[in-house]
Structure 1
Amino acid sequence: MKRTLIIGASSNPSRYAYLAAQKLRNYGHPVLLLGRRKGFALGEEIHLEKIEWEDVDTVTLYINPSHQPEYYDYIVLLNPKRVIFNPGTENPEFKNILLNKNIVPIEACTLVLLSIGQY
């Protein structure tokens, strides 16, 4: 299973980040939640601080590109295998940074990837 960090996690069940956390767990993938607001999703704490988690396979982004620069170094430090840029989070600058660090950037929807068995 692919340990996944959701950046932009939300406690609102109608948000895509919440739905992604739910679906990832349903498929057996452990989730880590990092958000801009304190709360809980699916019984898990949404952290506000950038924790140096180990063995993060995938980072999936649910934050606007204008908020992403503050996470560049943090994500690179975690050294995931890939970063998923969900619709609306595409960021060519960050994509190039990731490529230079041998981290695969993917422009796709986490929910769709799970649905079609390509996660």
Structure 2
Amino acid sequence: MGNIDVGDVKTIFGRRLKQALIEKNVQQKTLADALKISDKTMSSYVHGNANPTLLGLAKIAKYLNISADFLLGLSNELKPLENIDDPIGEDILMIRRSYTSMPEHQRKAVLRLVQSITEDE
């Protein structure tokens, strides 16, 4: 991985936070109040002048129900967090992880199996 400039991280985080606030229709002040931080601190995050602590990042992601990867610029998908309390969701995540690690021929076999099962219903 190449060198990452701290200024770039702050800028990316600020842009992504602003985008998430707009898309989730959440005011900066509302998020600041929920996180128990000052409006000034929240503004510094949004304008790329500062970044939260790891705990702060986790709280922001959880409140907005988005991935921290999105906020950090590691993913371009503004998607909801996976619900790990949902047993079916856990099964789906396990299946997804297994499927993505399989070679192509095994993926095709899994797809054929699933298709044959669902055709019988």
Q: Which has the larger radius of gyration?
A: 2
Higher share in helix: 2
TM-score tier (shorter): under 0.3
Q: TM-score, normalised by structure 1?
A: 0.26
Q: TM-score, normalised by structure 2?
A: 0.26
